[in-house]
Amino acid sequence: MDSIFGICGKDWVVVACDTAVNRSIFTLKHDDDKILSLNTNKVLACSGEQTDRYQFSNYIQKNLELQAYLTGHELSIEASAQYMRTELAKALRKAPYQVNCLIGGFDHLNGEAKLFWMDYFGTLQQVTKGAHGYAGYFVNSVLDNNYQVNMTLEDGINTLKKCIVELKTRFIMNQPTFIGKIVTKEGIRVINLTE
């Protein structure tokens, strides 16, 4: 029931998520960061069961780090996303990670920002905007209507805020706080999207 969604411009990408951890009828935690910063230019947002989220995102992060040490070369955003897909697909027939992901990052090579959408079956797609789970039912139309090529980072953040307003008015889940992570040439910045 986690809400994660994101939007991507030419040289920026923002990924947002709610911060609640729910278990049976309880909210266990109100301030969980579901977006892991993989390094200084890549973020991985996961929705799903806490344990799978934790395990998968940390597994990926540590392995990307190891590969960087071994090869002296950091994978591009696309290559990282493809690697995650492979790992999810490998796990699918054994002990699947029940995680749906958004991967956002800024490629220093060509100065482009990218956003990838991936579900737990291993479907990987490059997108300009994306959302997972129930939140997607409410948020996708908002994203579609507000997306523009060449939109600015500010427009992007405003769009995400509109998404949150929609979730708060129509979605049954209690998700009081949202955080976002912005990836640009300068690196990763955290913003509080709850107003």
Partner 1 sequence: MDNENFGLAKSFSSAPVLSISPHTNFSQKEQTDIEHELNEQVGTTGEYVSEGFCFKLAPGQDQIGFMRSLKEKAPKLTDFAKGTTTLAFEFQEGVLVAVDARATMGAFISSNNVRKVIEINDFLLGTMAGGAADCMFWEKYVAMQCRVYELRNGEKPSVAMASMMLASIMRQYRGQGLSMGTMFTGSDKTGASLYYIDNDATRVKGRLFAVGSGGTFAYGVLDTNYRYDMSLDEAVNLGIRAITSATFKDSASGGVVRIYHVTNHGKWNLIHDAIDVSELHYQFEQNKGHTGRGNEGKPNKYL
- Binding residues for partner 1, per CB under 8 A? 21, 23, 25-26, 28-29, 32, 49-51, 54-55
Q: Which is nearer to partner 1, 10 or 29 (CB)?
A: 29
SS3 of residue 173 by DSSP = coil
How buried is 131 (Cβ within 10 angstroms: 0-12 exposed, 13-18 middle, 19+ buried)?
buried
CB of 172 to partner 1, least distance (A): 18
Q: Which is nearer to partner 1, 25 or 109 (CB)?
A: 25
116 close to 102: Cβ distance less than 8 angstroms: yes
Residue 147's closest CA among 129, 166, 121, 163? 129
CB of 94 to partner 1, least distance (A): 11
Q: Which is nearer to partner 1, 23 or 185 (CB)?
A: 23
Number of other residues whose CB lies within 10 A of the CB of residue 14: 27
Rounded-to-integer distance, Cα 183 and Cα 106, Å: 6
Q: Which is nearer to partner 1, 21 or 89 (CB)?
A: 21
Residue 128's closest CA among 118, 113, 107? 113
CB of 152 to partner 1, least distance (A): 36
Number of alpha helices (DSSP H) and beta strands (DSSP E) in the chain: 4, 12
CB of 54 to partner 1, least distance (A): 7
CB of 48 to partner 1, least distance (A): 12
> Facing residues of 125 across strands?
117
**DSSP state, 84?**
H
CB of 13 to partner 1, least distance (A): 28
Q: Which is nearer to partner 1, 34 or 129 (CB)?
A: 34
Q: Which is nearer to partner 1, 56 or 106 (CB)?
A: 56
